[in-house]
Amino acid sequence: FGTSSMSGFLGIEVTEVGPDYIVATMPVNEKNVQPFGILHGGASVALAETLGSVASTLCIENPATHTAVGVEVNANHLKSIPAGQQVTATCRPLRIGRQMHVWQIELCNAQGELTCVSRLTVMVVERKGQKEKN
């Protein structure tokens, strides 16, 4: 999934998919740290949005005609993660509707401590030129 996109560049890997959650990991390394050697907040947001977008894609009734697009993302950074560690993100739905999904994504360090909490709103939109045929 996404090996030639940002998720591939950052090393994001989906590790678990459950009935109401999805989990992914990302290494903290030279590709995603700030000059002080800790995980860049933007990389945390990229992980959160990637995971929520994957979750929404899994919920779309007809992915041949519709796609998920992020419309709002926010994040509260609670604790830093130094280079050399791994961050684990768990995504759970707050609301899954026909046209809008809202996800809560929690990022934790290797010790299981909460480091960031994010919320992502996703719209389910029709793919251009792919109208459903009734």
Active-site positions read 49
C-alpha 12/C-alpha 79 separation (Å) is 20
Q: Are 78 and 115 in contact (CB under 8 A)?
A: yes
Distances (CA, A) of 90 to 66, 106, 127: 24, 5, 28
